Structure formats: C-alpha cells, structure tokens
Amino acid sequence: MVRIILLVAVLIAGLVFGPEAAGNKGYVLIALGNYTVESSVTSLALLAILLYGALLLLEWMLVRLLRLRRNTAGWFGKRRRSKANQQTVAATLAMAEGHYGQAEKLLVKSARNSDTPLLNYLSAAKAAQARGDEARRDEYLQLAQQENPKAELALTLTQTQLQIEQEQYEQALAALEPIYALQPRHPMVLEQLMQIRRARREWPALIDLLPTLRKVGRLSPAREEHLLEEAWSARLEEGSGQLDTLRPVWLEMPRKLRQQPHLLLTYGRYLRALGAESEAADLWLDALRKENSPLLLAELPRLKLENYQTMLVQLRKMQDQPGARAALGQVALLAGQLEEAQPLLEAELASQPSAAVYHALARIMEQRRLTNKANEYYRQALSLALG
C-alpha cells in the first residue's frame, strides 16, 4: 500500500514539475566498461517510474500465485483431515461392535492425517491385541512413541496393561519393576503390580502393596479388607498341608484379620483336617466369647471331641443369641444328652427350620427307636438340603 502511494506521489510530482522541466531536460551519461548509455533526465525518470511499476505488478502477481497455492494446499489438507476424522469415528464404532480388524485398518490409515495420531496408534494397538496379534500391537505402540517421545511412561503403562490382559505377566513385570523402583507411589504402576501379583498368586508381595494402594486412593478400605482376606486365606491354604506350616501363617496374620469369622472358620477347618479338633474348638469358643458369630456356631457341631462339657457350658450362657440354640441342641446330642437336645431342637424347628436341625432330630428319633418319625425328619432334611 505504501509503495502504491509512493508511486502515485511520484506521478503527481511529474505532472506538477514536468512542464517546468520540459525546457531544461538535462543530460545523463552512464558508462559501464565499454558500454555507455545517454539519456535526458526526464526520460530516465520516466523509465525508472515504469520499471518500478512493473516490479510492483510482478510482486502482486507472485503474491496472488503463492496465496492461491497456499489456499489450494489448505483446502486439500482440510479435506484430508476431515476424512481422517470420519475414519477415526468409523473405527471407534467398529471397535465398539467388535469388528477389530476393520477398526485397526481405519485407525492406521487415518493416523497420518489425524489431529491425534498418538491416540490412533494406541487404539490400533488395542484392536490388534483383541485380534490376538501381539506383534502388530507392539509395532503400533512403537509408532505411538515416535509420534510423542515424551509420552514414554504413558505408553509403557499402556503396553504393560495390554500384556496383563493377555496374561503376559513376565513381560509386564519386567517393564514395571524399574518404574516402581523410581516411582514407588505411582498409582497406575501400583495397580498393575497388584493385578500381576494377584494373578500369579504372589500373596506376600500383594499384601505389601495394598496399604500403599489405599494411601494413593486406588483402594477403598472395604476393597482393601476384601483383598487382604483373599490373600491370607490363600496363604492359609498353601500352608494347610502340615500343622508346622499352617500355624506360623496364622500367627503372622494381623490381629484384626484373625478376628474375622471367615478366616477363623477357614483356619479352624484346616486344623480339623489335620486332626487338631480340640485346637479348633478352643479357637472358635474363644472368638465366640468376644463376639457372637452364627457362622462359627453352625460349625461347632461338626467337631469330634472327647469331651463337650466346656462347649456346652458356653453355649448355655449364650443360647438366647442367634444360632446358639440350634448349636446347643446339636452339641447336646453329640454329648449324649438327649433330654436336653430334643426340646431345644424342636423349639428351633418351630422358629427357624433347617436341614441340620431336621437331621439332628432324626438321629434323636432313631435312638429312641421312633423309626417312622426319624424317616420323616430325614426326608425333610434332604428336601431342605436339595432345595
């Protein structure tokens, strides 16, 4: 714009001062080596003005040409990006419908022109894994890392999660352990390690991880307690072959967990299986003195003891509590005290019938030689057990 104004100004000046200079044209001589150019001042000025105008015209034409090229390239680029976005959407729908091969092709095809090629390659890796093609999966993850080298940690964790889903625990663990050494409180690293430890039944390692997972907000207290019970139950099972391996696991367990009815029941059953019936009885009775547990009460009549007196004394004290009356009746039957057992069991049958109570009453009727009544109770017990 400035140059056009300058050109107009020169033209106006020529119109104003041109007539005055017409009578005094002047003389210009330009010598370049063996060449000389002679001209009047007026002719040279007009030539310069024309040359400047020609340059301006040439510049305008070049600018228009370049702008046209840029606009054309932009139009084609915009069209390619739009098509890539459409292919990405189609791939997402194909993934949701389970067409993993189609989704993978669309994601890879549109990655080059996509606004988010990193996400395209990550989704393609998941599609390849869904097809069972682990080599392609790893190839797409490498391409994703090339797109954004700074996302190495995120891509590594994506790869390890895919490996965990594919049960490739060794490879995932090999990648996670160095990261865990540098970032021992990284939530995703901890969560993936938890999945691996649990899948590989590495219970001590899992138990060590759980408190940190709760502290970083990846576990609720209820979920932590559930996993701890699972892990310690598994450790008890692993040590259940001998009393010398079983008892140390129980003593190592946190006191709070040793008060949980499910774990008390599990440990007691393992003791019974190894012939330590009296030890199991003492364990359960001690727990019942602190807190009633219908779960443990239902298990007491399964114990085979030489003397049931201690158990009877305690059950008589708590027979008004849920489950205690039925347990007392069955234990009294085991102790041979039919006169005490029968009314207790009949009262329990009237309020809350169960297969165990019917079976105990059937045994009493058998001992009293009331065969028909015994058979009726046995049928009722079987019906409830099967129903």
- 221-259 tens-digit pLDDT: 999 999 999 999 999 999 999 999 999 999 999 999 999
% of the chain at pLDDT higher than 90:
55
State the virtual CA torsion across 122, 126, 128, 133 in degrees, nearest 10: 110
| Short-list 26, 62, 58, 60, CA closest to 42 | 26
**Whose structure tokens read 């907000």?**
217
> Mean pLDDT for the chain?
84
* Residue entry with tokens 């865990």: 180
Is residue 182 assigned to a domain? no
pLDDT digits over 142-174, tens only?
887 777 777 788 888 888 999 999 899 999 999
Tell me the residue range of the domain where 378 lies. 322-386
**Hunting for tokens 């600018």 — which residue is that?**
63
How many other C-beta atoms can be found within 10 angstroms of the C-beta atom of residue 147? 18
User: Strand pairing partners for 32?
Assistant: 35
Given a cut of 50, whether residue 386 has pLDDT beyond it is yes
Whether pTM exceeds 0.75: no
Q: Report pLDDT for 128.
A: 85
Task: Bin 242: left if φ > 0, else alpha if -120 < ψ < 50, else beta.
Answer: beta
Structural domains in the chain (count): 1
In a domain, 370, yes or no: yes
Confidence of residue 362 (pLDDT cuts 50, 70, 90): very high
Average pLDDT over residues 290-294: 93
Residues 63-108: pLDDT tens digits?
777 675 665 545 444 666 667 667 767 777 776 777 778 878 877 7
> Band of the pLDDT at 211, cuts 50, 70, 90?
very high
- Establish if 381 belongs to a structural domain: yes
Q: Specify the pLDDT at position 10.
A: 58
The Cα 17–Cα 166 span in angstroms is 91
| Residue 34 forms part of a structural domain | no
pLDDT in the model for residue 77: 47
- What's the confidence (pLDDT) of residue 110? 77
Residue 99 has which token pair? 């067409």
More confident residue, 11 or 378: 378
Which residue did the predictor score with more confidence, 359 or 53?
359
The stretch 267-272 carries a mean pLDDT of 96
pLDDT of residue 71: 52
Confidence of residue 16 (pLDDT cuts 50, 70, 90): low
- Note every long-range contact of 22-29, with CB atoms under 8 Å and residues 24 or more positions apart, other chains counting: none
Better pLDDT: 5 or 260 = 260
Q: What is the pLDDT of residues 297-338, one digit of tens each?
A: 999 999 999 999 999 999 999 988 999 999 999 999 999 999
- Has residue 25 been placed in a domain? no
Calculate the alpha carbon distances from 361 to 118, 179, 182, 280, 333 in Å.
72, 63, 65, 25, 9
Q: Does 230 map to a domain?
A: no
Residue 87: both structure tokens together: 């292919």
Per-residue pLDDT, 80: 63
Per-residue pLDDT at 123: 81
CATH at 375? 1.25.40.10
For the chain, the first-to-last Cα distance in angstroms comes to: 97
In a domain, 187, yes or no: no
List, for residues 28-46, the tens digit of each pLDDT value: 666 666 777 666 666 666 6
Q: Which residue has the higher pLDDT, 263 or 25?
A: 263
Structure tokens that stand for 90 in this block: 């189609």
- Rounded to the nearest 10°, the torsion over CA 301, 303, 306, 312 is -40
Share of the chain above pLDDT 70, in %: 83
Cβ atoms of residues 344 and 329 within 8 Å: yes
- Are residues 144 and 118 in contact, defined by beta-carbon separation less than 8 angstroms? yes
* 203-to-36, 87, 193, 268, 385 alpha-carbon distances in Å: 101, 46, 12, 21, 35
Task: Report if residue 335 sits inside a domain.
Answer: yes
For residue 197, the tally of other CB atoms under 10 A from its CB is 21
CB atoms within 10 A of CB 202: 17
- 35 φ, ψ (degrees, to nearest 5): -110, 145
Q: Which of 17-21, 38-42, 371-375 has the lowest mean pLDDT?
A: 17-21
State the pLDDT at residue 73: 46
